[in-house]
Amino acid sequence: MTHAVRYFLLRRLPNCKDMSLVMSQSMERRLTLRERAAMKLHLLVCIWCVWYLEHLRIIRDALRTRADQLPPEESSATDSLSTEARDRIRRALSEKAQ
């Protein structure tokens, strides 16, 4: 019976590739009710995605911890790009668009 329910859900829910995008977005924004429900159901039947979400959380927490440990002068220096870097990026993007 459990196998039948899992198979039924897997065939009707978004695939792992689509769910990995939703899981990544869940770190940046609040998901809609539909997205949250689909993700919770998918996580009930897919252990691979459970592991993926755990790894995303570990990476996020590690990066936050590292950012908190940086001295103020280093953290402010990494928050913005230099004017030259911004100009280089603008030029590269405009050349690519043409």
Q: Is the pTM of this model over 0.75?
A: no
| Domain limits, the chain | 2-97
Q: Which long-range contacts (C-beta less than 8 Å, at least 24 apart) are formed by 31-39?
A: 38/13, 38/14
Rounded CA-CA distance 25/56 in Å is 11
Q: Share the mean pLDDT of the chain.
A: 85
DSSP secondary structure, 51-78, as one string: HHHHHHHHHHHHHHHHHHHS-HHHHHHT
Q: Please answer whether residues 20 and 49 qualify as being in contact, where contact means their C-beta atoms are separated by less than 8 angstroms.
A: yes
Instruction: Quick: pLDDT tens for 23-66.
Output: 999 998 999 999 999 999 999 888 999 999 999 999 999 988 88
3-class secondary-structure state, position 27: coil
pLDDT at 78: 53
The band of 81, judged by pLDDT with boundaries at 50, 70 and 90, is: confident
pLDDT at 74: 60
